[in-house]
């Protein structure tokens, strides 16, 4: 049985696809996870994993020697781990902590497969491209968004469907908007969104003056749910407020529209559930990858995009008001999302990924 190591870490955007991939592979391969302390908090206790910290040093020139020292020790630890466990294939979902273990894989001449869900290649994966056997991605155009050093590796691209949790394949929202209330979801991903918590409540209250709406909103941990809730209650807005929850959309997904950041996993889940969305990408994401993630759907007429730097009070109101006045554009987006999901089943993807890894 092949031994596969999935290297992941940092945010939920790296770890969630790694977990979903693990669930696809666990019955056919000896598979384990290699993660850092931040990534470990997203991984259930029962899953076999090695928690391995690689300190992230700020991008300061005078700290460069310290960065080299930490990477050297991380490399030695990775070398010991790899030799002890005799790994056949390394799959890296990105993150700086994957660099040492990937370099060790190259030394042992083992297959390195990169996973890149974003619409631009991340910095760690960009560095590892020259060592990689192939790159699993959702968008082949990622090799066009860079210099010639990236484009020359385009032959390594392997197009796959979004890797989702099993629960999503049984929960698709194909219904039309209800007449009684318009259901709005506000989510900020695993890192939450302080901007959403600060600025979107007034938009919802403004909408409630004209339409009957329900709001389900993820709050930043800095906010008190009870205090936040009082203002919605005062305006007779039915509401459900929560902090980050794993696979929240598996538990509740009967929403008419979502207001969201633009992490690759979040957008893939909303798209699979046929929920049109207004994306406000996180403006400080590395290489502006969240904006490019959202633009991939925008170019296919699946969503609306607002940029945080240009955000004005009333922007959300204007979009949703237009939807309520004329739902044709809204339903067109919903119809396109449904086409995205044709023939996407857990079994189909599972069969493809198992065959792919057995062939490699």
Residues 99, 75, single domain; the answer is yes
The pLDDT, as a whole number, for residue 214 is: 96
DSSP letters for 216-258? EEEPPTTS-HHHHHHHHHHTT-EEEEE---TTHHHH----SEE
Residues 109, 193, single domain; the answer is no
Residues 60, 147, single domain; the answer is yes
Measured at the alpha carbon of residue 81, what is the angle toward residues 79 and 83, in degrees to the nearest 5?
Answer: 65
Residue-range definition of the domain harbouring residue 213: 168-340
Residues 256, 148, single domain; the answer is no
The model carries a pTM of 0.89
Q: Specify the number of domains making up the chain.
A: 2
Q: In this structure, are residues 137 and 113 in contact, taking their beta carbons and an 8 Å threshold?
A: no
Residues 14, 138, single domain; the answer is yes
**pLDDT per position in the chain (360 positions), as tens?**
899 999 997 777 889 899 999 999 999 999 999 888 888 888 888 898 888 766 665 666 666 677 778 778 888 888 888 888 889 999 999 877 788 899 999 999 999 999 999 999 988 899 899 999 999 999 888 888 767 789 999 999 999 999 999 888 865 554 454 558 999 999 998 777 899 999 999 999 999 999 999 999 999 998 999 999 999 999 999 999 999 888 899 888 899 999 999 999 999 999 999 999 999 999 998 889 999 999 999 999 999 999 999 999 999 999 999 999 999 999 999 999 988 877 788 999 999 999 999 998
Residues 139, 193, single domain; the answer is no
The pLDDT, as a whole number, for residue 141 is: 87
b/e 129-161 (16+ beta carbons within 10 angstroms → b):
beebebbbbbbeebbebeeeebeebeebbbeeb
What is the Cα–Cα distance from 233 to 215, expressed in whole angstroms?
Answer: 11
Residues 182, 331, single domain; the answer is yes
Residues 333, 186, single domain; the answer is yes
Residues 212, 315, single domain; the answer is yes
The pLDDT, as a whole number, for residue 311 is: 95
Residues 24, 70, single domain; the answer is yes
Q: What is the CATH number of the domain that holds 23?
A: 3.40.50.2000
The pLDDT, as a whole number, for residue 74 is: 80
Residues 184, 150, single domain; the answer is no
The pLDDT, as a whole number, for residue 111 is: 95
Residues 152, 224, single domain; the answer is no
């Amino acid at each position: 049985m092949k031994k596969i190591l999935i290297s992941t870490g940092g945010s939920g955007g790296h770890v969630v696809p790694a977990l979903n991939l693990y669930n696809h592979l666990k019955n056919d391969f000896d598979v384990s996870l290699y993660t850092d302390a931040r990534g470990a908090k997203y991984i259930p206790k029962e899953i076999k994993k090695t928690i391995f910290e690689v300190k992230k040093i700020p991008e300061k020139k005078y700290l460069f020697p310290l960065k080299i020292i930490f990477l050297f020790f991380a490399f030695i630890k990775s070398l010991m781990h790899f030799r002890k466990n005799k790994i056949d294939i390394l799959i890296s979902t990105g993150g700086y902590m994957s660099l040492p273990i990937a370099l060790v894989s190259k030394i042992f001449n083992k297959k390195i497969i990169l996973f890149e869900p974003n619409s631009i290649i991340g910095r760690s994966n960009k560095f590892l491209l020259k060592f990689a056997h192939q790159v699993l991605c959702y968008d082949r155009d990622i090799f066009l968004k860079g210099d010639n050093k990236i484009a020359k590796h385009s032959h390594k691209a392997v197009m796959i469907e979004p890797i989702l949790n099993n629960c999503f394949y049984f929960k698709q929202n194909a219904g039309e908007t209800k007449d009684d209330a318009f259901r709005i979801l506000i989510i900020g991903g695993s890192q939450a969104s302080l901007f959403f918590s600060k600025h979107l409540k007034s938009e919802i209250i403004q909408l409630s003056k004209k339409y009957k709406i329900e709001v389900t909103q993820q709050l930043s941990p800095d906010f008190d749910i009870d205090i936040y809730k009082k203002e919605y209650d005062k305006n007779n807005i039915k509401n459900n407020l929560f902090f980050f929850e794993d696979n929240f959309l598996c538990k509740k997904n009967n929403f008419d529209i979502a207001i969201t950041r633009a992490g690759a996993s979040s957008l893939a889940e909303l798209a699979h559930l046929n929920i049109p969305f207004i994306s406000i990408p996180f403006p400080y994401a590395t290489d502006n990858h969240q904006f490019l993630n959202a633009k991939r759907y925008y170019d296919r007429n699946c969503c609306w995009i607002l940029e945080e730097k240009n955000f004005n009070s009333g922007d959300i109101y204007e979009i949703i008001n237009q939807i309520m006045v004329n739902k044709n554009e809204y339903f067109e987006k919903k119809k396109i999302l449904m086409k995205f999901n044709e023939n996407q089943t857990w079994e189909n993807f599972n069969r493809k990924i198992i065959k792919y890894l057995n062939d490699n």
